[in-house]
């Protein structure tokens, strides 16, 4: 998929519960960010996740993500606490009527940043094929 908005179409084929932003409180290396995101991806409440890394104007790593949880009510209480250990977070319920705009926003660097770090993790056993 070379066209940037093709990724929006692909990601919106899935359901999402939360739109989350983490602004890290330190300038972490890409390797460290990948380790942090692997920890987040494997949290027991996260069923699927799509995230993209960018930087703030001050150079701090900044992650935008959409998340599908396997326990919505528990996630609303627990996930913000888990995520705050790395920095400031913005944790919102995902609104389906603005889904494409939200996905476009988090993936805005797709095709523009050759060093873009991102990932999509879908539930095991699902027959989704990542064609990116």
Query: The domain that contains 93 carries what CATH number?
Result: 3.30.70
Nearest-5° Cα angle at 70, 95 to 37: 80
**Residue 80 is assigned to a structural domain of this protein:** yes
**Residue 126 is assigned to a structural domain of this protein:** no
Contact 16, 93 (CB under 8 A): no
Q: Which domain holds residue 107?
A: 4-118
How do residues 62-119 score in pLDDT, each as one tens digit?
A: 999 999 999 999 999 999 999 999 999 999 998 765 666 777 778 787 778 788 888 8
CA dihedral sign, ordered 10, 8, 102, 112: positive
Contact 75, 45 (CB under 8 A): yes
Residues 6+ apart with CB under 8 A from 28: 36, 61
User: Which pTM value belongs to this model?
Assistant: 0.83
**Residue 77 is assigned to a structural domain of this protein:** yes
Q: Kindly state the tokens that stand for 110.
A: 């797709």
**Residue 76 is assigned to a structural domain of this protein:** yes
How do residues 2-58 score in pLDDT, each as one tens digit?
A: 455 677 777 788 889 999 999 998 889 999 999 999 999 999 999 999 999 999 999
**Residue 74 is assigned to a structural domain of this protein:** yes
Number of domains in the chain: 1
Taking residue 6's Cβ as centre, other Cβ atoms within 10 Å add up to 14
């Amino acid at each position: 998929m070379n066209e940037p908005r093709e990724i929006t179409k692909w990601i919106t084929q899935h359901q999402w519960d939360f739109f989350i932003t983490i602004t890290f409180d330190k300038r972490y290396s890409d390797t460290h960010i990948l380790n942090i995101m692997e920890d987040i991806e494997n949290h027991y409440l996260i069923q699927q996740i799509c995230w993209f890394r960018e930087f703030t104007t001050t150079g701090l790593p900044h992650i935008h993500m959409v998340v599908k949880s396997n326990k919505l009510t528990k996630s609303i209480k627990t996930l913000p606490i888990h995520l705050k250990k790395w920095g400031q977070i913005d944790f919102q319920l995902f609104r389906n009527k603005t889904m494409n705009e939200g996905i476009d926003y988090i993936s805005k660097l797709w095709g523009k940043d050759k060093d873009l770090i991102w990932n999509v993790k879908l539930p095991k056993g699902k027959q989704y094929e990542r064609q990116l």
